[in-house]
Chain A
Amino acid sequence: MPAALAADRIRHSRRAFALTLAAGIVGLLALAAGASADPLTPESGGSPNADSIDTLYKVVLAVAVVVFFGVEGVLLYSLVKFRARKNAVPAQIRGNTRLEVGWTLGASVILVVLAVVTFVMLADIRNPPNSDAAGFPSDRVENVQDASAYQPRTPNGRALNIKVNGQRYIWRYTYPDKDTNALNNAFSYEELVVPTKTTVTLDIQAQDVAHSWWIPQLGGKFDAIPGHTNFTWFKIPEPGVFRGQCAELCGRNHADMVATVRAVEPAQFKSWLARKRREVDTADKLAQTRRKELQAEQAQGAEAP
């Protein structure tokens, strides 16, 4: 091979290498730029299930980082070490059964570990704990009809149960009470007010298209599918406001279908709920009065001409 050409080839591979390296560094910088304010893990801090998911994520992340740097490291090393050079002879190797079996088993072991960790942590994520003694006194939650799906139950069966209904483009919350007619129950839109130190279970439904309930700091997403009931729970230790939004495309204003959870002290919640019930009662009475007035008007109208 003429020397000039060999030099050209070396220059070529060096430039290519420099290029790859530069790209890699920029990629890392982009990562570093983002490495402030918890950009590497999910939101958490509002409820134990969200915290457990965060922990599980970190476990996977730890394994992932090792695999990532291991593989990228070997890749980069082989590119640098085995780049074409004068008189270099490529080894004519076609494979190695031991190595194949080894990395297949290695990958399997990693995944078995991840599966085991998931199973161990699953109970904390899926099963709600009891409310604290200082929490809002709540009733036993009766099983809803959709028995095939999973419904979270606290060990003592007591929790504050709230029905969440997704509709374009707002969330409606119903607080069931002894009145079996849901229309007479207290309700609110957009902002869900809940007591602290209390396990809150949500029955999630949709009345038009599919939506998805998601308050990142209070746990994962649960789709609201017409004709189905989905479940989740949270238990908020301290008063606070948690924001989220619909996470399943539901139409043009999907981006505007927001939700807020406001956690207040149990006593405060009690008075809020009582006020809401009074509002419903007052509205009912108003409707009765209005009906009587209308009847009276109609009766007058019938006599007049």
Chain B
Amino acid sequence: MAATDTAVLVPEITAHSVEPEPRGWVSWVTTTDHKRIGILYLVTTFVFFIMGGVEALLMRVQLGAPDNTFLTPSTYNALFTLHGTTMIFLFVVPIMAGFGNYFLPLMIGARDMAFPKLNALSYWLLLAGGIVFYFSLFFHPPEAGWTSYAPLSNASFSETSGIDAWIFLIHLTGISSLLGAINFYATIANMRAPGMGWGRLPLFVWSLLVYAVLLILALPVIAGAVTLLLTDRHFGTGFFDQSQGGDPLLWQHLFWFFGHPEVYIMILPGFGMISEILPVFARKPIFGYKAIAAATVVIAFLALLVWAHHMFATPSATVVLVFFMISSFLIAIPTGVKIFNWVATLWRGTVEFKTPLIFAVGFISVFLIGGITGVFLAVFPVDWQLTDTYYVVAHLHYVLVGGSVFAIFAGIYYWFPKMTGRMLSEGLGKWSFAFMYVGFNVTFLIQHSIGLDGMPRRVYEYPDVGHLALYNLISTVGSFILAAGIGLTVVNVVRSLKHGVKAGPDPWKANTLEWFTPSPPPVNNFDVVPRVRSVEPMKDIRRQVARQSEAPVEVGAESRH
């Protein structure tokens, strides 16, 4: 099927590779090319995504019926620890780095990242972190949740090495992300195409810039916290032990000082992708470029001031509760501004329902729910009822699956042609979306009610009271529909690698510079870096070409081989 029915032939400046593209697995292991590292990131993190997904399905099977005995309590606790940690540290955060690696240099007209070798190191540290963590499966996997609250994670209550594996994962992926963040920052600050001022930076790049800054600010805190935990566990330091002058609440403060910015680290690049995709398929410039960029910065700033809203149920002075309620309210404003601007971007456009657009719109419609339930949770007396229940599970999945994952899938469908030179199947893509959208909502919408009915999170079983059995069964059925939808995209990707329609350099008639290169781009990206005159340099180039050739040459789909 044709990706676009018409395309203006762009006599793009074809880059001539200076040397032949290296081949074989050794070339992948030794590569410092940002595009190959990007692919490594994307493939690795997607594998972890599948693993985390299987863990989720196992949990949903256990919860499909009350008083189920499919899993033991310790297996169940290990599964939610693995699931949460995997999805956050090995999937969402690094896959954003994967997209960033591949597209950041292309979008700003650079030939590579600022520090290519550091970039390769980032990837290999990530993989090392994943391996250290998953090898705990053969010994004792951690069971203290992705938050690893002290004292539960102290040596007295978690004797086995699982927590240590978790700590090393945090350290390794943390260093990986820090190096990556420094690299992103340096690249954006120094390597933009001529003419690309801050006001012409693509919004995805804006989001990566803020993602990088947030990582640099938040990661050292968690690195310090897990180091203290490590010395508590093995050298008797007692930082989190009240009987030795420490405090379990210190862990919670340090963890969430990192943990909440982490939420925005996971969602901001997704916001960036949405801001790139909507204008392309609405055939209309992004509405409120400055407002969206500014909102990104404001969100990042406020993200550093809301951590204790995760701790409303701890012994807290009223002034603390009030401060963190207000700061959490404030962060809803720039988030709302983004949503309004996205809807306004579609308004009076000509919306083309290609798969990336559908995922992007799906993102807006469900992320909105996650945003709204976030306001409920910010009202601290209400939070006292909702925290640590399935309501929070529903909320965070609306943000991270409805938000991040849908954005990631929009990104996959949008950029796959650039990365591989072939289109993904539109039909399969739409089916994948339909299954994911329905499955996601069936799984998680009902979990709000499960939480309101009094079921805490992280319980391996529940009694057959009220509607809990029915609600949980609905949720379990939904999780398999969601999994089927994800599976369809996996099939789509594998099939299209070989059999997809050839994409050409600019199948979507997009706005940013990555579409100026052939698909896939050559090693050096650009022979000549074009001068940037607006936020939509590719649109300018297409116009210029059309002017130069007087009458734009229209070709039908049959010209695509």
A-side residues, CB < 8 A to B, are 1-2, 5, 8-9, 12-13, 15-17, 19-20, 22-24, 26-27, 30-31, 33-34, 36-43, 50, 52-53, 56-57, 60-61, 64, 67-68, 71-72, 74-75, 78-79, 82-85, 88-96, 99-100, 103-104, 107-108, 111, 114-115, 118-119, 121-122, 125-126, 146, 148-150, 208-210, 212, 214, 216, 219-223, 225-231, 244-255
Contacts and interface: CB of A to CB of B under 8 A. Distances in A.
Contact of B287 (A5, A89, A95, A220): A95
B474 A30 contact: yes
A223 B384 contact: no
A118 B385 contact: no
Given A26-B438, A31-B445, A149-B315, A41 B452 contact: yes
Interface of B: 5-6, 73-74, 77, 143-145, 149, 151-152, 157, 242-243, 247-249, 282-291, 311, 313-318, 322, 325-326, 329-330, 332-333, 336-337, 339-341, 343-344, 346-353, 358, 361-362, 364-365, 368-369, 372-373, 375-376, 379-389, 426, 430, 433-434, 437-438, 441-442, 445-446, 449, 452-454, 456, 458-462, 466-467, 471, 474, 556-557
Nearest to B445: A30
A104 to B, nearest CB: 6
A247 B348 contact: no
Nearest to B339: A71
Contacts of B372: 64, 67-68
A72 B368 contact: yes
B388 A212 contact: yes
A85 B351 CA distance: 9
A149 B462 contact: no
Contacts of B434: 19, 22-23
B313 A20 contact: no
B441 A27 contact: yes
A50 B74 CA distance: 33
Given A1-B5, A246-B456, A53 B350 contact: no
B453 A71 contact: no
B361 A1 contact: no
Given A39-B467, A114-B375, A115-B329, A13 B353 contact: yes
A83 B353 contact: yes
B290 to A, nearest CB: 7
B43 to A, nearest CB: 29
Contacts of B74: 252
Contacts of A61: 376
B538 to A, nearest CB: 16
Contact of A108 (B315, B333, B362, B388): B333
A128 B474 CA distance: 39
A91 B284 contact: yes
A99 B242 CA distance: 53
Q: Is the interface of B mostly helix, strand, loop or mixed?
A: helix
Contacts of A220: 313, 381, 383-385, 387
Nearest to A258: B463
B199 to A, nearest CB: 12
Contacts of B460: 255
Given A126-B318, A149-B315, A255-B73, A60 B379 contact: yes
A151 B421 CA distance: 65
Contacts of B384: 53, 219-222
B343 A111 contact: no
B315 A229 contact: yes
Given A2-B556, A93-B348, A75 B364 contact: yes
Q: What are the 7 A-B residue pairs with the smallest beta carbon separation, nearest first?
A: A220-B384, A227-B242, A16-B353, A255-B459, A39-B449, A91-B348, A42-B385
Given A71-B343, A252-B143, A89 B291 contact: no
Contact of A43 (B316, B349, B385, B474): B385
Given A9-B5, A90-B282, A216-B385, A15 B454 contact: no
Contact of A118 (B143, B381, B446, B467): B381
Given A82-B347, A82-B351, A252-B77, A53 B381 contact: yes
A64 B433 contact: no
B313 A75 contact: no
Contacts of B449: 34, 39-40
A19 B430 contact: yes
Nearest to A126: B318
13 contacts: A5-B556, A8-B5, A13-B353, A22-B438, A30-B442, A43-B385, A68-B372, A90-B284, A93-B284, A119-B322, A148-B317, A210-B248, A231-B315
A37 B318 CA distance: 33
B446 to A, nearest CB: 6
Contacts of A216: 385, 454
Given A15-B430, A26-B442, A78-B351, A53 B313 contact: no
Contacts of A74: 343, 347
A52 B283 CA distance: 49
Contacts of A43: 385, 452-454
A84 B351 contact: yes
Interface centre among B248, B322, B362 (most CB of A within 10 A): B248
